[in-house]
Amino acid sequence: MSLTPDWAPNIHPIVVHFPIALLIVAVAVDLVSLLWRRNISIRNTVSLLYCVGAASGILAYFTGESAADAMLLPAEVAPLVGEHHDWASRATWFFVFFASLRLAVSFILPQKTWIQTVSFLLALSGIFMLYETAEHGALLVYRHGLGVQTITTDTFQEEADNRVAAAISSPRDQGIVDLENDSWVWHPVVGAESVLDNEFTWLDGTVSDLIPGMVHDEEKGPVLGLSPQETSVIFVAGSNVASSEAEVSINLDHFDGEFRILLHVQNSETFDFFSATKNVFQLGRVNAGVETIFEEKELLESGWLELQIFGGEGHFRGYVNGELITHGHADDLEPGPFGMKIQGKGRLLVDQIQVQSIN
Any idea what the CATH number is for the domain that residue 195 is in? Answer: 2.60.120.560
Model confidence band, residue 4 (pLDDT cutoffs 50, 70, 90): low
Residue ranges of the alpha helices (H) in 250-350? none
Q: How many CB atoms lie within 10 A of CB 284?
A: 22
The answer to the question of residue 25 being in a domain is: yes
The answer to the question of residue 271 being in a domain is: yes
Q: What's the mean pLDDT in 298-318?
A: 91
Mind listing the pLDDT tens digit for each residue in 30-89?
888 877 766 778 888 888 999 999 999 999 988 887 777 666 666 667 677 778 888 888
**Are 209 and 125 part of one and the same domain?**
no
The answer to the question of residue 155 being in a domain is: no
The answer to the question of residue 295 being in a domain is: yes
Tell me the average pLDDT of the chain. 86
The answer to the question of residue 38 being in a domain is: yes
**Are 123 and 23 part of one and the same domain?**
yes
**Are 23 and 128 part of one and the same domain?**
yes
**Are 128 and 177 part of one and the same domain?**
no
Q: What's the mean pLDDT in 158-164?
A: 66
- Does the global pTM surpass 0.85? no
pLDDT at res. 290: 97
Mind listing the pLDDT tens digit for each residue in 275-287?
999 889 999 999 9
Model confidence band, residue 150 (pLDDT cutoffs 50, 70, 90): very low
**Are 185 and 137 part of one and the same domain?**
no
> Which residue, 144, 176, 199, sits at the end of a domain?
144
Model confidence band, residue 102 (pLDDT cutoffs 50, 70, 90): confident
CB 116 within 8 Å of CB 37: yes
The answer to the question of residue 2 being in a domain is: no
> d(Cα 40, Cα 56) in Å, to the nearest integer?
25
**Structural domain boundaries enclosing 260:** 167-357
Model confidence band, residue 295 (pLDDT cutoffs 50, 70, 90): very high
**Are 218 and 297 part of one and the same domain?**
yes
- % the chain with pLDDT above 90: 55
Composition of the chain by helix, strand, coil, percent to 5: 40, 35, 25
**Are 221 and 320 part of one and the same domain?**
yes
The answer to the question of residue 150 being in a domain is: no
The answer to the question of residue 39 being in a domain is: yes
Mind listing the pLDDT tens digit for each residue in 192-248?
999 999 999 999 999 999 999 999 999 999 999 999 988 899 999 999 999 899 999
* Distance set, CA 45 to CA 25, 28, 105, 255 (Å): 11, 12, 12, 64
**Which amino acid belongs to residue 64?**
G
pLDDT at res. 153: 44
**Are 208 and 330 part of one and the same domain?**
yes
> Which residue, 144, 178, 198, sits at the end of a domain?
144
Number of domain units in the chain? 2
Q: How would you label 204-241 residue by residue, b for 16+ Cβ within 10 Å and e otherwise?
A: bbebebbebeeeeeeeeebbbbbbbeebebbbbbbeeb
Please determine, for residue 11, whether its predicted confidence score (pLDDT) is greater than 70: yes
